[in-house]
């Protein structure tokens, strides 16, 4: 999920479990630690394909927090030990050095582990078993940006701050607020996942009524909310894209893209660039073959998980790879990444609102 949500969730973990022992520093450390896994983006700067190879890789593994967390915890503990010597009173009240060290280590491990757990809920995919496996896991429950989900956690942090500042404060209230927000967030995740399952059921029923019974149906969340879902239905001959919200009575209207049959697709499939995309997209690939004015052929491989966002009549995903072939089916250019981001004129907020709630 987005960096702000990751930081807020890490701060909530610090508030719920460690503020009473470590003070406000637990919130700051939890927020910072929860964003550490995304530092892997710096490994993607040297090569445009490195984002697909390395982002959400080893730093997003389930092993990263338990192995690296104790090192972060020890470093933070050591820092505050030294600062306590310089500025008396910095040591957490009522804790021995061993208790403080244990608290910092547990906070570090848990804050780091929240990151892959949140990210696996999005369609982008996360390598939970890296470095032992580069398989990507994804649960299509949540959008990368969900203001409601993030807002609940933010309210808990604000409420905890108000309670700590209030003369009516009670011991444990701040931790209870954060704990309640975390529990609510888990239920929200489950609710979002259930919407995805319901959407796929409705899509299959719709396709069956239209005489299509062999499609592979997958539902994906769109931006900012859990209700407006994008659906892909793939058969041997075509790929259909539609949208659905359980909050409206609008039927699913499919846009159909025929699958091309070309020897160039097989040639493209042999390239290293295609293998990187296929691994990243978890095998969800759609093809497009277009003749060019100079007699060459352009072959594109699109990431199905992000197909249909541009609103074009022809098949178009947010990203993929493309290459040119000559008349003898030989590569003219190596496959390169392309991007089809929505135009600045697109009112994405209106689209999501109308799609989720209707006119």
State the Cα–Cα distance between residues 210 and 251, nearest whole angstrom. Answer: 12
The pLDDT tens digits for 39-71 are: 998 877 778 898 898 889 999 999 999 999 999
pLDDT class of 88 with cuts at 50, 70, 90: very low
pLDDT class of 89 with cuts at 50, 70, 90: very low
The pLDDT tens digits for 225-273 are: 999 999 999 999 999 999 999 999 899 999 999 999 999 999 999 999 9
Q: Determine what percent of the chain is predicted with pLDDT higher than 90.
A: 72
State the Cα–Cα distance between residues 238 and 165, nearest whole angstrom. Answer: 61
State the Cα–Cα distance between residues 331 and 325, nearest whole angstrom. Answer: 5
What kind and span of H or E run contains 103?
Answer: helix 97-119
Q: Where are the beta strands (DSSP E) in 247-325?
A: 255-258, 285-291, 297-303, 319-325
The pLDDT tens digits for 200-224 are: 999 999 999 999 988 899 999 998 9
Is 275 in contact with 282 (CB distance < 8 Å)?
no
The pLDDT tens digits for 271-296 are: 999 999 999 999 999 999 999 988 89
For the chain, domain boundaries: 3-139, 260-339
pTM for this model (two decimals): 0.89
Q: Where are the beta strands (DSSP E) in the chain?
A: 216-221, 229-234, 238-244, 255-258, 285-291, 297-303, 319-325, 336-339
């Amino acid at each position: 999920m987005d960096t702000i949500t990751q930081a807020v969730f890490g701060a909530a973990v610090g508030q719920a479990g460690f503020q009473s022992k470590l003070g406000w520093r637990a919130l700051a450390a939890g927020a910072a630690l929860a964003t550490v896994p995304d530092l892997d983006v710096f490994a993607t700067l040297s090569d445009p394909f490195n984002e697909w190879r390395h982002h959400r890789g080893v730093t997003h593994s389930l092993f990263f927090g338990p192995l690296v967390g104790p090192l972060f915890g020890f470093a933070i503990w050591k820092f505050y030990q030294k600062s306590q010597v310089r500025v008396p009173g910095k040591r957490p009240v009522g804790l021995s050095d061993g208790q403080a060290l244990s608290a910092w280590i547990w906070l570090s491990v848990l804050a780091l582990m929240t990151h892959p757990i949140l990210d696996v809920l999005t369609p982008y995919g996360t390598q939970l078993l890296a470095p032992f496996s580069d398989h990507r896991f994804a649960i299509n429950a949540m959008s990368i940006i969900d203001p409601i989900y993030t807002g609940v956690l933010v309210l808990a942090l604000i409420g905890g701050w108000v309670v700590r500042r209030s003369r009516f404060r009670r011991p444990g209230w701040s931790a209870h607020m954060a704990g309640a927000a975390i529990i609510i967030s888990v239920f929200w995740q489950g609710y979002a996942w259930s919407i995805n399952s319901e959407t796929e059921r409705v899509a299959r029923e719709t396709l069956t009524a239209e005489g299509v019974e062999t499609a592979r149906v997958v539902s994906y969340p769109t931006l900012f909310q859990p209700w407006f879902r994008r659906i892909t239905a793939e058969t041997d001959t075509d790929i259909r894209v539609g949208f659905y919200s359980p909050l409206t009575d609008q039927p699913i209207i499919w846009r159909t893209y025929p699958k091309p049959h070309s020897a160039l697709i097989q040639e493209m499939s042999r390239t290293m660039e295609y293998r990187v995309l296929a691994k990243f997209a978890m095998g969800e690939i759609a093809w497009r073959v277009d003749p060019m004015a100079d007699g060459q052929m352009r072959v594109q491989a699109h990431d199905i998980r992000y197909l249909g966002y541009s609103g074009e009549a022809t098949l178009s995903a947010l990203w993929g790879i493309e290459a040119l072939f000559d008349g003898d089916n030989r590569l003219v250019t190596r496959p390169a990444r392309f991007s089809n981001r929505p135009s600045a004129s697109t009112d994405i907020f209106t689209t999501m609102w109308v799609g989720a709630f209707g006119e």
